[in-house]
Chain A
Amino acid sequence: MVNIQIQTSELNLWFGKNHVLRDVNLPVHSNQVTAMIGPSGCGKSTLLRCFNRMNDLIPETRITGKITLGEEDIYAPRADVTTIRSRVGMVFQKPNPFPKSIFNNVAYGLMIQGKFPRHELRDRVEESLRAAWLWDEVKDRLNSSAMCLSGGQQQRLCIARALANRPKVLLLDEPTSALDPQSTAKIEELCLELKKSVTILIVTHNVAQAGRISDHTAFMYLGELVEFDRTEKMFTVPADKRTEAYLTGVFG
């Protein structure tokens, strides 16, 4: 029984006069990893940022169409952006922990809601750090600065921070492109584990990474969703010539 966690319908986006996303209809399956691949400038990062309305921060952005999370359209006029963003977490390309302690970083999303007592914060922080495979490395120094961690650890910290909100969907924007191969491998395995509890949407310019960890892949080109299929099928017998060209390295 296919369960779609979040879905775009006829999504179009303009940055000023630039038509950046064209009629995108993308279903994201629950508890699966969906990868978005495509050459630079194809719109995959822009599309990702639609899912938690981060594009709202860019001036002169216009969106038509809708994105439904569960039952609600997140672009409805009445929709509350902060609630959406706590349900749809994001991890960025460059690890960006706050210049605060490890504890305060992970607890941030909960503290701003203001309704969690101290002991519950502690529990959630531990739960999130364990889920991000970082607990053992930092459990003795939760009060030390997050900036002292290595790049790979910082990125896992950012994942823990996003997980603290217990989001339904986790958006990953090229999360390993700034990391060394070992950290990359660790985070890839982490994704495979995390998908049991959260739906994952990952943008990657590394096709092999999409092959390794994703269940479904969306190929984007010039703002269009060219092909969307099970990764296994797309990587062996792609339906569209453009997909095949990209996968075999003809461009991008």
Chain B
Amino acid sequence: MNKRKLSNILGTSLMGSMLLITAIFLLIFLIRMFSKGFAVLSPEFFFSMPRNAMTEGGIWPALVGTFLLTTLAMLVSLPLGIFTAIWLTNYARPRWLVRILRIAINTLAGTPSIIFGLFGMAIFVNLMGFDVSLISGGLTLAILALPVIINNTEEALRAVPVEFRDASLALGATPRQTIMRVLMPAALPNVLTGAIISVGRVAGETAPIMFTAATFYSRRLPQGPGDEVMALPYHIYALMTEGTHPGSQVPIAYGTALVLLLLVLLISGAAIIIRSSIRRKRQW
């Protein structure tokens, strides 16, 4: 067997084994989560309030809290992010402003999430006086999601063939009309996919909401934006670190983790399905 064939086989085997290791890790992870948390799952677990110092009952308020936080975050970050991306791809003047923006976006994208938490606390909780609340947490998460949405939307817009833009302008459309009537509709599926993935990410963040929104226990569901909320990821953290009855609380933590995992998997799955159906239907 000659040298080239040999090195080809070696390379392929190496890559294959890497893949195998990754897959095995993932499998172990999933199996462990499942085995530890599955026992706790039941309809009651999903829909009832926690009881008895968190040793029994369900995670309903945490689910509601995560839902509200995520919704608020997306409501703020999506429009902001999309319009920023549109501006960056189509107007982008003056040059110095563009450069500053890009630095800002890239920095934000790489910032550790705990720093978002501190920032949120300093600005929303303290400076703006919102206190630990849904609104503080939502806004903090919005800033977290912003760079991802901007980059994703920009990429989606750049992926639209330039011929469409040329054709639209050549027919006498203004740049704004071109964006609204041709480019955005064409980019929308990809923008949407990115948004959905952001949802998954935002739902699972702990550090940003630690000091800004989340509480370990609330007797009732949040009544307004000024209320503090429970959230799934924080719930896990709290149960594992501050729980007083680890015997019953650790399984609940695993159960919560499983729920969060399933949520993320569901969202990612939805995004993948949407993306592949776009690819199939794509006509250009």
User: Using a CB–CB distance below 8 Å, which chain A residues touch chain B?
Assistant: 52, 54, 57, 82-86, 89-90, 92, 94, 96-99, 108-109, 111-113, 145, 147-148, 158, 161-162, 165
Contact = CB atoms under 8 A, between A and B. Distances in A.
A70 to B, nearest CB: 17
B172 A112 contact: yes
Interface stretch (B80-88, B173-181, B199-207, B225-233): B173-181
The 6 closest A-B pairs by CB, nearest first: A86-B172, A147-B283, A96-B163, A109-B171, A85-B172, A90-B170
Interface residues of B, number: 18
A163 to B, nearest CB: 11
B171 A161 contact: yes
B171 A165 contact: yes
B169 A94 contact: no
Contact of B167 (A57, A83, A86, A158): A158
Interface in B117-169: 161, 163-164, 166-169
7 contacts: A52-B170, A57-B169, A82-B173, A86-B171, A98-B164, A99-B164, A112-B173
B238 interface: no
Given A98-B182, A145-B283, A147-B283, A82 B174 contact: yes
A54 B172 contact: no
A126 B164 CA distance: 23
Contact of B283 (A52, A99, A112): A99
Contacts, number: 65
B173 A92 contact: no
B96 interface: no
Main secondary structure of the interface of B (DSSP, over half): helix
Nearest to B180: A112
Given A94-B163, A96-B163, 14 more contacts: A82-B173, A83-B172, A85-B170, A85-B172, A86-B171, A92-B166, A96-B161, A98-B167, A98-B182, A108-B173, A112-B171, A145-B283, A147-B284, A158-B167
A113 B181 CA distance: 13
Chain B CB within 10 Å — which of A54, A57, A89, A99 has the most?
A99
Nearest to B165: A57
B186 interface: yes
Contacts of A165: 171-172
A57 B168 CA distance: 13
A98 B166 CA distance: 11
A85 B171 contact: yes
A46 to B, nearest CB: 14
Nearest to B164: A98
A82 B161 CA distance: 21
A54 B169 contact: yes
Contacts of B169: 54, 57, 85
A165 B166 CA distance: 16
Chain B CB within 10 Å — which of A57, A82, A96, A97 has the most?
A96
Interface string B94-132: 000000000000000000000000000000000000000
A108 B168 contact: yes
B51 to A, nearest CB: 55
A88 to B, nearest CB: 9
A82 B174 CA distance: 7
A52 B166 CA distance: 11
Interface string B264-284: 000000000000000000011
B164 A96 contact: yes
Contact of A89 (B161, B166, B170, B174): B170
B284 to A, nearest CB: 6
A108 B171 contact: yes
Chain A CB within 10 Å — which of B163, B172, B173, B174 has the most?
B172
A96 B169 CA distance: 12
Given A98-B182, A99-B284, A54 B166 contact: yes
A215 B174 CA distance: 34
A171 to B, nearest CB: 8
Chain B CB within 10 Å — which of A52, A92, A97, A108 has the most?
A108
Nearest to A84: B172
Contacts of B181: 108, 111-112
B171 A89 contact: yes
Contacts of A83: 172
